[in-house]
Amino acid sequence: MLEIRYKLQYTGDAADDHRLPAHDGATSLEGITWSFALLGNYLATGDIRKRGNLDKRVRFYLAPASRGSFTNEVIAFVTEPQSLFLTSILGSVAVGAITTAFTGFVKHAVTKVCGLQDDDHAQFMRVLDRFPSGDLEANFDAIEPAMSRAHNVIGSGAAELNIIKGRTQLLKLDTITKSYVNSNFENPENTIRTVSVGALNANTGNGRVYDVETKKTIPFTVDKEPRPGTYAVLSSSLDRYIGGLPSNIKVTCREIYSHDDRIKKLKIFSANNLKSSEHG
């Protein structure tokens, strides 16, 4: 049995008096722990879930609140670490390697959903690159509603929620991350962008592209009824990208923006190969 412990520390406002508003506080705890549970289930099985029964090899439990603002301990009990999907990704059953990768994956997912700067991304990249194409983005989609609920109490009983492991603060959720998570402004007009596909999960329709205009990597989701041939073009772009070949394509999409005008995601309706005259 492997135990991985985190502290959920609410500070500011009523939390400094060791209490939270009952409904908003309970909703916040449900949201953050459900996010952890969904990510833990993926690391156990390799399957992306949004609801239903989760794998029993990774279970999260709450310990009683302690004094000092309003703090709960959430504990991941990993019963069969040697049989986890994560273990097959790492190629190691060492407790330290599993704990570090487990925590890194959870931190990376929450960071992306909340619009935070991922300081550990570069050093963790070699591990992230081993996960199946598009799975990271599918996990971001899966936990976004729960992470919205995790912010319920921010500004309504607490100023911040700090996620801590040992003596290290992993993440800080506040009014800025709350605004980012809760804002999804979809451009009402279709636009055409030149992109290169870097990841694609054809089962969920999630992935990420490198956008030539902004010179940034952007997550995407494919519309439920895309134009015929869209997945074939996206897949071909990914294959060429992996093979080190020119991989730019045109996608018809709508941008989804945050409150501060950052592009959070693209919703893709169709994809087409570039014409010969458009290749640089």
Rounded distance, CA 128 to CA 107, Å? 12
Looking from the CA of 186 toward its CB, the CA atoms found within 13 Å total: 9
Q: How many CB atoms lie within 10 A of CB 17?
A: 9
Distances (CA, A) of 275 to 253, 271, 272, 280: 18, 12, 9, 11
* Tens-binned pLDDT, residue by residue, of the chain (280 aa): 999 999 999 999 999 999 999 999 999 999 999 999 999 999 999 999 999 899 999 999 999 877 768 999 999 999 999 999 999 999 988 999 999 999 999 999 999 999 998 776 677 888 999 999 999 999 999 999 999 999 999 999 999 999 999 999 999 999 999 999 999 999 999 999 999 999 999 999 999 999 999 999 999 999 999 999 999 999 999 999 999 999 999 999 999 999 889 999 999 999 999 987 676 5
Sign of the dihedral through C-alpha 230, 233, 236, 237:
negative
* Domains of the chain with bracketed CATH: 2-182 (no CATH), 185-278 (2.40.50.140)
Rounded distance, CA 270 to CA 223, Å? 8
Distances (CA, A) of 135 to 116, 220, 227, 244: 20, 12, 23, 22
Q: Give backbone dihedrals phi and psi of 99, rounded to 5 degrees, phi first.
A: -60, -45
Place of tokens 């990597």: 217
pTM of the model: 0.91
